[in-house]
Amino acid sequence: MGNNQKKLLLIIDDEEPICKAIADRLALEGFEVIKAFDGNTGLQIARDRHPSLIILDILMPKKHGIEMLRELRKDKWGEKVPVIIITNLPEGPEKRQAEDEGVREFIVKSDIKLEDLVKKVKQNLSL
């Protein structure tokens, strides 16, 4: 748990129960977790706080996840931050767009358990 306490994670998802469940599980692992419920707020928090990793939904109000990701990648800091996409969308054009922006993982929400997501977070942070 020691290393995780220094890692700040940002979860951006408009489905608040899902966002809370993920945040609570990651907090149990010792991560500091911030939540945002739309792309605009998530982008602002990311630019202000520079999280170690971002978990990002695609379909959200105010700013689509891929659009937010493209804006994030324009920042020097945002170029390299690991991003895990979680979405209800099956694989399609959004997956290719996310890969073009350097996304490390693209996960369909209905296909993953919280334990598996925790493992992917740790893998992406090399923990």
**pLDDT means per 10 residues in the chain (127 residues)?**
71 94 95 95 96 93 88 91 88 80 84 91 90
Residue 124 located in a structural domain: no
pLDDT at 4: 54
* Domain-embedded: residue 56: yes
Structural domain contains residue 77 = yes
Asked if residue 125 is part of any domain, the answer here is: no
In a domain, 110, yes or no: yes
> Hey, what are 86's tokens?
């979680």
Q: How confident is the model at residue 63, as a pLDDT?
A: 83
Domain-embedded: residue 126: no
80 is a domain residue = yes
Phi and psi at residue 65, in whole multiples of 5°?
-60, -40
| Residue 127 domain-assigned (yes or no) | no
pTM of the entire predicted model: 0.90
**Structural domain containing residue 51:** 3-119
Task: Report CA-CA distances (Å) from 43 to 5, 66, 83, 113, 127.
Answer: 22, 11, 12, 26, 25
| CATH code where residue 115 lies | 3.40.50.2300
Domain count, the chain: 1
